[in-house]
Amino acid sequence: MKKWKKIWFIFSPLLILIISTLIHNFYNYFPSLITKIFFPINESIWEHTKMIIMAYFIFMILENIIFKEKNYNYVWAALVCSILVLIIFSFTYFYILKGKDNLFITIIIYLSCIILSQLYYYFLQPKANNKICIIMWLYIFIMNGLLTIYPLSGPLFQVFLN
C-alpha cells in the first residue's frame, strides 16, 4: 500500500462518519423527491441504512477523484456496513436498550460497523467487475427509493427516535 493510501485507510472510518453526520439531516434542509430517495427522511433504523449507503457512495467518489481511479467496489463495503448496523443496532436497540435512545451507544455501534466494513473492503473483499458494482449501486438506490415511498410495516421502518 502506498503511503497516502495507508493514511487514507487509517482515516477512512472517521471520514465516512463525518460524511454520514453531514448528510443525516440533508432531507430536512432540502426536501424534495430526489433527496427523499437518497437521504434519510426520518429516524427509523431503515432510513439510517440510506445514510450509510450514501456516505459510502460519496466516500467512493472522493477516493476515485483523489487517487484518480475507477473503482466502484465500495458497494460491497456499504452493504456489509448496512447489514451489520441493521443486525447489531436492531438487537441493541430493541433488546438491550428496550427502545430508549442512547446517542453514545449508537455512534459506537455505527463507528464499529464502519471500521469492520472498511477492514472487510481492504483485506477480504474480492474485486468485482466495475459494471457489476455500478448495477449494484443502481439497484440499491432504486430499492431505497421504493422502500422510502412504499415502506414495509415492521419495526425497522417505524420512527422510534425523536
pLDDT in tens, 135-153: 999 999 999 889 888 888 8
pLDDT at residue 13 tops 80: yes
In this predicted model, what pLDDT tens digit does every residue of 40-80 receive, in sequence order?
998 888 888 889 999 999 999 998 898 888 888 888 889 89
How open is the CA angle 22-55-68, to the nearest 5 degrees?
Answer: 115
CB neighbourhood size of 38 (10 A): 18
| pLDDT above 60: residue 1 | no
Summarize the confidence of residues 26-48 as an average pLDDT.
89
Whose cell is 457512495? That residue is 57
Share of the chain above pLDDT 70, in %: 97
Answer yes or no: are the C-beta atoms of 88 and 52 closer than 8 Å. no
What are the sequence ranges of the domains in the chain?
3-157
**pLDDT, position 160:** 65
What does residue 44 show for φ and ψ, rounded to 5 degrees? -75, 160
Element (H, E) at 140: helix 130-149
The pLDDT-based confidence of 26 (bands split at 50, 70, 90) is very high
Q: What is the identity of the amino acid at 107?
A: I
Q: Which residue has the cell 428496550?
A: 98
- In whole angstroms, give the CA distance from residue 40 to residue 133: 22
Q: What is the pLDDT of residue 59?
A: 93
